[in-house]
Chain A
Amino acid sequence: MLNRRFMLSSLAAVLAAGLATATPAAADALDDIKARGSIIVAIDPTFPPFEFTDAAGKVVGYDPELIEAVAAGMGVKVEYKVMAFSGIIPGLIAGAFDMTPTLNVTAERAAKIDYAIPTAASVNAVLTLKETAVKSSAIEDLAGLKCAVKATTQPEQMMTTLNDELEAKGAKPVELLGFETIEQTIAALADKRVDCVVDDKSVLVEAINKRADLPLALAGEIGGSQPIAWGVNKANPKLTAALSDGLKALKASGKMAELQTKYFGYTTDLPETDFVPK
């Protein structure tokens, strides 16, 4: 899913380049937000547990709770603009709304938009059965074993890169089996057709919780982590700073860790500086 968002938004960023020539010359959006009494948030709530809708159609999830807490600290209300993801970055660049949550932090995007400090990190992990030949999630310990991945996703790309590194060192690569859905990879693991599953950690934790009937266990994380953060138009440095301050306060109070446990099942240490990849 994160991967899909990356590709769609790259496309949208290219389209937005045509719109982005004139950045609004008005004052910082922070002043408008205070005057209006609300912050306008563009959101595509199709991405649980980060953001989704409940049965009543209300926008809920990890990021909405964070946004509402930060907005409460600023003394303003939250106004959601619910829209498909491909319109969000172009609209943000055009100044049609104040912020959007849950963007992968990439160097390409950082050239067009600013980020508040990260709210989450996407990190991949290795899932195994409790009785397993897998010693740890280190790539050396996976060499020569079979791993299930979802085809054409970022975890699969990452494993292919790690395989190249293994082969360069003269080790056997991990044999990758591509599947369509997470359920299929779990089924392959349960049937012992594979030794492990590699996918986004929050997805695997959810699978462990949903399939309590299977002896599933996390062997650990694999590869680097990629920060996820809120995006703001570059014309609004005061707003970006205010959002970052609000998030720091939620970190200090323990509210952010509490929400991470509630939605992801684990907590993550997140950087506050130098988090944009070069």
Chain B
Amino acid sequence: MFDTELFLESVPTLADAALVTIRLTVVSGALGLLAGALSAAAQLSGVTALRILSRIYVSLMRGTPLFVQLLVVSFGLPMLGVSADPFLAAALAIGLNSGAYVTEILRAGVLAVPAGQIEAAAAVGLSPVRIWTRILLPQAFAISLPALAAELTIVLKSTPLASVVAVTEMTYSGVLIQSRAFSAIEVFVPIAVGYILIAQAILRGARHLEGRLARARA
């Protein structure tokens, strides 16, 4: 009962939508990494106000559903007079959400760098900023890489929610075809394969990077 014609007809549309999914994953992931790095640095900075601010951010983002965050960012901004492009609004919401988890991943990564290195760096006269950018963050990033890659696959699988704010990514694109053709399997098999391929690219990329970072340190 597999409708080959429908399958072949769906693939180009789904491939276009897969590009939207990939773009949304990459942009959200980059925003999440940036937000998480800043927030982790704030939490470890020793400045009380920054630490509290970062804690509030992490608690808010981890304590509310991504669905609500998407609605607030996408429909809250126009109410403040900021007209947001649906893609950018969705990427901002997913990125800020992911940033909270990245905060904790990077914080653990930074804490895993032996304290002796920081003392040594301070002893040779490196400024705190340089200690962060040259000693702590690069090593924390390498330590955190497997967890960050896993977080990016979670971002990938959050992207279908962006369909509630007018981003037609891969899953919703399939829903549109399915509701017209009254067939599910021909549409959702290629979609599932699409997600598996993107996730594999992320995980293999991270493995490759891990290997290179390990060689660079050796």
Contacts and interface: CB of A to CB of B under 8 A. Distances in A.
Interface of A: 15-16, 18-19, 22, 24, 42, 45-48, 52-55, 57, 81-84, 86-87, 90-91, 93-96
Contact of A82 (B9, B67, B168, B178): B168
Contact of A57 (B68, B78, B175, B176): B176
Contact of A81 (B72, B166, B176, B179): B166
Contacts of A24: 79
B165 A87 contact: yes
B180 A54 contact: yes
Interface of B: 9, 13, 67-68, 70-72, 74-76, 78-79, 86, 163-168, 172, 175-180
A18 B67 CA distance: 13
Contacts of A22: 79
A62 to B, nearest CB: 14
Given A42-B166, A91-B165, A96 B78 contact: yes
Q: Please provide the 8 A-B residue pairs with the shortest distance between their CB atoms, ordered closest to farther.
A: A87-B164, A94-B75, A46-B179, A83-B166, A84-B163, A81-B166, A84-B164, A53-B176
B82 to A, nearest CB: 12
B77 to A, nearest CB: 9
A19 B71 contact: yes
Contacts of B172: 84
Contacts of A52: 176, 179-180
Tell which of A24, A47, A86, A87 has the most Cβ of chain B within 10 Å: A87
B177 to A, nearest CB: 8
A199 to B, nearest CB: 15
25 contacts: A15-B67, A15-B68, A16-B71, A16-B75, A19-B71, A24-B79, A48-B179, A53-B177, A57-B13, A81-B166, A83-B164, A86-B67, A87-B70, A87-B75, A87-B164, A87-B165, A87-B166, A90-B75, A93-B75, A94-B75, A94-B76, A94-B78, A95-B78, A96-B74, A96-B78
A260 B176 CA distance: 23
B163 A19 contact: no
Contacts of A87: 70-71, 74-75, 163-166
A18 B166 CA distance: 20
B175 A46 contact: yes
A16 B75 CA distance: 9
Nearest to B161: A84
Contacts of A42: 166
Contact of B9 (A15, A47, A55): A55
Contacts of B165: 83, 87, 91
B205 to A, nearest CB: 30
Given A19-B79, A22-B79, A94-B78, 16 more contacts: A18-B72, A42-B166, A45-B179, A48-B179, A52-B180, A81-B166, A82-B168, A83-B163, A83-B165, A84-B163, A84-B172, A87-B166, A91-B165, A93-B75, A94-B76, A96-B75
B176 A45 contact: yes
A263 to B, nearest CB: 14
A180 B178 CA distance: 17
